[in-house]
Each structure stands twice: as structure tokens, then as C-alpha cells.
Amino acid sequence: MATNYTRGRGLEYACRTVLERHGFWVIRAAGSKGVADLVASKRSPAGDAVLLLVQCKLGGGGIDRGEWNTLVETAYEAGGMPVLAWRAAPRARLTWHELTGLRALRQRRPTWPWRPLDLSLFP
């Protein structure tokens, strides 16, 4: 029987695989209780570095306001992009969202649909 930990780890592995296929160098924070589950980096043909801080979530619970704001603030301080990778159910499609701002009480979640392919098409 799969535990929440093994399901979450499987999601992190799936996200890592997608990012690596698109040319990112990825580090997984095993047993992560920190800001991000994955940190991914890639250099564009123009020489610019792209840094992603990725939080992976499985199920309908999503990410609470505190986690959201910490991820956004930390990513911006590091010069990176905060990304939420989410899967509604174990066999559901993986969706990616760039977190575009801090989340206030009773406010709509500021996100923008994102996909790893978007960063593999650098000019």
C-alpha cells in the first residue's frame, strides 16, 4: 500500500524527469520540509541562467497561503521563478503554474499556466 510519502516522492520524481528532459539540471530536496521540493537550473543559448524553485503537490489540498508566499519571496530573492507542479489524483495529468505574486487573504491565487517547454524555446 502506498503511503503519502511514497506518492509525494513519485510525483517529485515525475516532475524531475520532465524538467531533465527539457534540459534542466535538477536537485531534489529529499524529505523536504523546506521551501521547495525541487530546484532546477538551465542556461539559455544567450547565456542567461534560469532558476526554478518548484513545489510539488498531489491531491486537492493545494498549497496554503504561508507556503505560497514563502516560495514566492524566496524565489524572487534568489532571482528565480516560483513554480507549482500539481497533480489532482495519482493518475491525473500533471499541471504547472508559475506563481506570479503573493497571496492575500480571500484573494484569487495569482498564477499563470506554465510548462517546462516554455523555457526550452529560448530565442
- The number of distinct structural domains making up the chain is 1
121: pLDDT confidence band, cut at 50, 70 and 90?
A: very low
- What global pTM score does this model have? 0.84
123: pLDDT confidence band, cut at 50, 70 and 90?
A: very low
Please tell me whether residue 91 adopts helix, strand or coil conformation.
coil
Q: Which domain holds residue 41?
A: 4-102
Here the CATH number for the domain that contains residue 45 is 3.40.1350.10
β-bridge pairing 38-43 and 49-58? antiparallel
122: pLDDT confidence band, cut at 50, 70 and 90?
A: very low
Q: Please check whether residue 98 lies inside any domain of the structure.
A: yes
Q: Please check whether residue 35 lies inside any domain of the structure.
A: yes
CA gap 63, 19 in Å, rounded = 21
Q: Please check whether residue 97 lies inside any domain of the structure.
A: yes
CA gap 119, 24 in Å, rounded = 9
Per-residue pLDDT tens over the stretch 98-112: 888 888 776 666 665
Q: Please check whether residue 75 lies inside any domain of the structure.
A: yes
Q: Please check whether residue 110 lies inside any domain of the structure.
A: no
